Amino acid sequence: MIPNPALGVFFHWLGGLASGSFYVPYRGVKHWAWETYWLVGGFFSWIIAPWLLALTMTSDLFAVLREAPLPSILWTYIFGVLWGLGGLTFGLTMRYLGMSLGMAVALGYTAAFGTLMPPIFRGEFARQVLGTRSGLVILVGVVVCLVGIAFAGAAGVSKEREMSDEQKRASIKEFDLKKGLLVGTFSGVMSACFAYGLAAGDPIKTITLQHRTSTLWQGLPVLVVLLAGGFTTNFIWCLILNKRNRTAYQYFQSEIRGHVPARSEEHILETGTDAPGEEMAATAVLVNTGADTLRAPMLANYLFSALAGTTWYFQFFFYTMGETQMGRFKFSSWTLHMASIIIFSTLWGIGLNEWKGAGLKTKRLVAFSLLVLVGSTVIVGYANYLGAASPH
């Protein structure tokens, strides 16, 4: 199949829309601890959706996985485990900074590390990137993307300075700039491991094509392995929190036993955890409300969590489709993916009134960041067009 960079950019935009939107359904979950709804959604993100679509869209999935080289399977899985550490704190980043600023901070690091490290490790950076016109244009697109992310971050800082504490917490209940930046940095660096896992899965893609699967779906078996690694990390940590916070019953019982998930900073401090990693991850703190009976809407909670998890998976469903259209510069897909996520998450942040009360300067920064990020996707797409037109 002849690569079509314009179609690839479109697929990445669809993936960005899915990723920028996935957290919205979680807002409909009531009276569940974070670890409960995160794990329920995760079953759909990391297990159900990947396996269902891989079995549906590819040929001989089990044969492909049996024939895949063991090192490729192992490294893809290991990078998935490491990526899971970033995913654990990704939701926390948005809780502390909001969808707009939170995704900008975390995905800024992810964009830089996830785009540039794979070609460097492959030994292709000097020859294919620095040594070609299209590769240099891609680098320009990456830099423009990072500039756009920087402006998005600057908009968040500007908002933090302009708004009162009451205004911040009216739109983002747990707004905390310092803690959010710390968590977002860790999340962004570790989340880049997803790009490494996709690169480690290249031999799996080759075998998938040998089994006569369409080029568009060649990445789906890789996602099965990679997301299994992410599931492992998240599953273990959520069970730890379920035990620590005594929330495991929430999967099966609607009656809340005199406790509800706390959302405010003072309740977070009641965990008594000392280690920074534990304090960041222990988001589901329980406090007594004194209410006689409080019930969680079980069906609605499961449906909202399932919708959030499935929506999240579709970012990488479309990502693997877009990657097939980028030719020999497929590593640039990561920049397109990150830029698209930030664009749509920022639009969601605007729609959810996270920027309500911000001044004119902040709103201009938000608008300019969106313009720059859209421009970065155009530049990267054009660079891939140049690469497709010139095979050398």
Residue 289 has pLDDT above 50, yes or no: no
Per-residue tokens: 223: 């996602």
pLDDT of residue 270: 30
Residue 264 domain boundaries: 5-389
Phi, psi dihedral angles at 289 (to 5 degrees)? -100, -15
CA separation for the pair 76, 111 (Å, rounded) = 19
The residue-averaged pLDDT of 176-190 equals: 82
User: In sequence order, which residues have a C-beta less than 8 Å from that of residue 310 and are 6 or more positions away?
Assistant: 44, 45, 48, 49
CB 80 within 8 A of CB 224: no
CB 35 within 8 A of CB 285: no
pLDDT of residue 223: 97
Residue 191 has pLDDT above 80, yes or no: yes
CA separation for the pair 387, 134 (Å, rounded) = 5
The residue-averaged pLDDT of 22-34 equals: 90
Q: What percent of the chain has pLDDT over 90?
A: 37
Q: Which of 156-160, 301-305, 359-363 has the highest mean pLDDT?
A: 301-305
Helix-strand-coil split of the chain, %, nearest 5:
80, 5, 20
- How many structural domains compose the chain? 1
CB 81 within 8 A of CB 232: yes
The residue-averaged pLDDT of 52-70 equals: 95
Q: Report residue 86's pLDDT band, with 50, 70 and 90 as the boundaries.
A: confident
| Nearest Cα residue to 344 out of 7, 16, 9 | 16
| Cα-based torsion angle of the residue sequence 305, 308, 309, 313 in order, rounded to the nearest 10 degrees | 170
Place of tokens 């968590």: 183
Structural element, H or E, at residue 239: helix 220-245
For the residues of 267-284, what is the DSSP string, one character each? HHGGG---SHHHHHH---
CA separation for the pair 187, 108 (Å, rounded) = 10
Is the Cα dihedral 298, 304, 307, 311 positive or negative?
negative
CA triplet 168, 302, 80: central angle to 5 degrees? 80
Say what the pTM is: 0.78
CA separation for the pair 126, 145 (Å, rounded) = 21
pLDDT of residue 9: 87
DSSP bridge partners of 285: 262
E strands along the chain, which residues? 255-256, 259-262, 285-288, 294-295
Is the Cα dihedral 352, 358, 360, 363 positive or negative?
negative
**Which of 89-93, 119-123, 316-320, 381-385 has the lowest average pLDDT?**
119-123
Residue 274 has pLDDT above 50, yes or no: no
CB 85 within 8 A of CB 234: no
pLDDT of residue 24: 86
